[in-house]
Structures are given as structure tokens and as C-alpha cells.
């Protein structure tokens, strides 16, 4: 199981939001590329990067910052936030992004998702962000008016191999993750799921690890790592 440190970019800075609320921003660094290098040196094998400006605006906004991250490390990254066009995917893959995360478009533009899956295969993953079981879109600002389980069940039909599932209500709250809910999404979709939102303790990682058979293959961790609530080296040992 992979542990993916999260780097969220807003106005070129590495930040964390609480429950996706842009009014509850905490800035961790002016230089996300330095943060990325620190995680690599700590043993990370993959990084999870979100363009928060892009997610809110519906247009990729921090590609130059993302490029600086890639130039500063030698481990793969996945990027999401505001990816609505094939040219967005092309541009990100061209600068060295390993995987591109499609979020809102999975609800609003299934034809785009199918085309992306056909053209780029496993380099495309779907981000399902849900609040109380209902998908949220546009940087978590709006309701997608669809149950997360329903969307997850459709994903496999596109030929997508991985979902990143985020429980918005738990994101940034340090209240722990609902491993059973993540496992249910994995079982409902029949494809691999990376858990995100609320991973707070080593027990959370153990619980996710215990559900590997359901299809959980990784965990994205943000605030708990930045605030030292989780020891990254211990998290890696449990996951591996």
C-alpha cells in the first residue's frame, strides 16, 4: 500500500484547507518544490499534488509550480484540480506528471473521461470527492447531485483502473478515516481505490491496510503529516 504525502497549491504556495474551505487556509510553504524534495528525502515513493486554484476556477492554474516540483525530485507525482480538457492532460504529461486526476468532469462530462481513458490508459485516475456520501464538484464548492457509490460503479465502465476517494467531512479535521466507507467504494466499483481525507493516526493506516483485499491500494495524507501527528517513517513501515 502506498503512502502519498499531499501538496496542495494555492497562489503558488503549499497550503492546507479544512474540509475544502478556501476561507480556512493555512500556508505551509512559499516553495512547494522544496516541500516535495523533503518528502522524497523522507522516503516517499509518490506524491499527490492538487492545483486548488484550478479546482476552484475549472482551469489548470499552477502548471509552472508543478513543473518546478517535477524538476526538483525524481519520484512520480499525480496531479488534480481543474482538469477539464484533453490539452490539460497533454500539458501535464508533457512536463513529466505520472498520473492525472479527473474530478468534476467525471460527473459533468463522461465523454471527456472516456476519451481520456482511451488515449492515456492508466495515466488517468478519477477523483471522487464526497460530503455525506454525495459527490462534490468545482473545488468542493458545489454538489454533483450524485451518490459517490453510484459514480464509483460507473468508473470501471470507462476503463479507469484507479479512484482517489476523499471524504470531505473528514479532510483536515484530524478525526480519523472511515476505512469501511473506502472499502465499500472499492468493492462497489471493482477497481483500486486510494483513500484520502482524515488519515490521522497509524491505526488509520493499519485499518486501511487491513482492507487491502477490498481494493484499497494507498492513502493520501496531508495535515497529519505536516503537523507531526503521524510519523511518516512509521506510516511507511505499516503500509509496506
- DSSP string covering 32-91, please? HHHHHHHHHHTT-S-EEEEEHHHHHHTS---HHHHHHHHHH-SS-EEEESS--SHHHHHH
Report how far residue 140's alpha carbon sits from residue 96's, in angstroms, rounded to the nearest whole number: 27
Active-site option among 53, 88, 129, 204: 129
Q: What angle do CA 209, 239, 68 make, to 5 degrees?
A: 125
Whether 171 is a known active-site residue: answer: no
Helix or strand or coil: residue 175?
Answer: coil
**Residue 94 a catalytic site member:** no
- Spatial CB neighbours of 190, under 8 Å, sequence gap ≥ 6: 156, 215
Strand bridging mode 77-80 / 47-51: parallel
Catalytic residue among 8, 53, 171, 204: 8
Give start and end residues of each alpha helix (H) in 82-201.
Answer: 86-94, 105-108, 110-120, 148-155, 179-189
Q: Strand 47-51 to strand 124-131: parallel, antiparallel, or no bridges (unpaired)? A: unpaired
Give the Cα separation of 189 and 15 in Å (integer): 31
**β-pair partners for 55:** none
Catalytic annotation, residues: 8, 129
Amino acid at each position: 500500500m502506498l503512502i502519498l504525502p499531499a501538496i496542495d497549491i494555492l497562489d503558488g504556495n503549499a497550503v492546507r484547507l479544512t474540509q475544502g474551505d478556501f476561507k480556512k487556509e493555512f500556508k505551509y510553504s512559499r516553495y512547494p518544490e522544496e516541500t516535495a524534495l523533503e518528502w522524497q528525502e523522507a522516503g516517499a515513493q509518490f506524491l499527490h499534488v492538487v492545483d486548488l486554484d484550478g479546482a476552484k476556477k475549472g482551469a489548470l492554474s499552477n502548471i509552472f509550480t508543478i513543473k518546478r516540483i517535477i524538476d526538483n525530485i525524481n519520484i512520480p507525482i499525480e496531479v488534480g484540480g481543474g482538469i477539464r480538457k484533453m490539452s490539460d492532460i497533454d500539458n501535464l504529461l508533457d512536463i513529466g506528471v505520472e498520473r492525472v486526476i479527473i474530478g468534476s468532469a467525471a460527473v459533468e462530462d463522461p465523454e471527456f473521461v472516456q476519451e481520456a481513458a482511451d488515449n492515456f490508459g492508466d495515466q488517468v485516475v478519477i477523483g471522487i470527492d464526497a460530503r455525506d456520501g454525495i459527490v462534490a464538484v468545482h473545488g468542493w464548492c458545489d454538489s454533483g447531485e450524485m451518490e459517490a457509490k453510484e459514480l464509483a460503479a460507473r468508473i470501471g465502465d470507462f476503463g479507469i483502473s484507479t479512484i482517489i476517494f476523499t471524504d470531505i467531512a473528514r479532510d483536515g479535521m484530524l478525526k480519523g478515516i472511515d476505512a469501511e466507507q473506502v472499502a465499500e467504494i472499492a468493492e462497489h466499483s471493482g477497481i483500486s481505490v486510494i483513500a484520502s481525507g482524515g488519515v490521522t493516526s497509524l491505526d488509520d493506516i493499519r485499518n486501511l491496510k487491513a482492507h487491502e483485499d477490498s481494493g484499497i491500494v494507498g492513502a493520501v495524507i496531508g495535515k497529519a503529516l505536516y503537523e507531526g501527528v503521524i510519523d511518516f517513517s512509521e506510516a511507511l513501515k505499516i503500509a509496506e
